[in-house]
Amino acid sequence: MSPGAHNPTDDDLVFKALASPTRRRMLDLLREDTRTTGELCALLPDLDRTTVLQHLRVLERAALVTGRKVGRERRLALAPLPIKRIHDRWISDYTRAAVDLLAGLDSDVPDDPAR
């Protein structure tokens, strides 16, 4: 790898995968239930099979989707751990800070003298 070349981290792959509305829609469908590739294609009639497979590859590379063979079919499932990792790293601290800020604002409100 040349100097300055970027080797994507796991989080980079997850953010790239989540950047696409189509891939987020696929994840929503897999959140409801496991699906075969054929079932997923049928639920996305605006996309051809090749496009669905390309999007699946991006999701699988980011470890957001897993597939396992059941007979002749390949069952696809949502793998939520990468999203949890993103939440824990990028969102939970901001949520905690927002709650602390709101709690601070609440404690700055004087007691209601009418009570």
Q: Which CATH class is domain 10-80?
A: mainly alpha
Q: Give the model confidence (pLDDT) of 1-60 as tens digits.
A: 444 333 358 889 999 999 999 999 999 999 999 999 999 999 999 999 999 999 999 999
Between 10-18 and 49-61, two packed helices, what is the crossing angle to 10 degrees?
A: 150
Between 21-32 and 10-18, two packed helices, what is the crossing angle to 10 degrees?
A: 90
Residue 85 has pLDDT above 70, yes or no: yes
Q: What gap in Å lies between CA 109 and CA 95, rounded to an integer? A: 22
Q: Give the model confidence (pLDDT) of 60-77 as tens digits.
A: 999 999 999 989 999 999
Q: What gap in Å lies between CA 84 and CA 91, rounded to an integer? A: 10
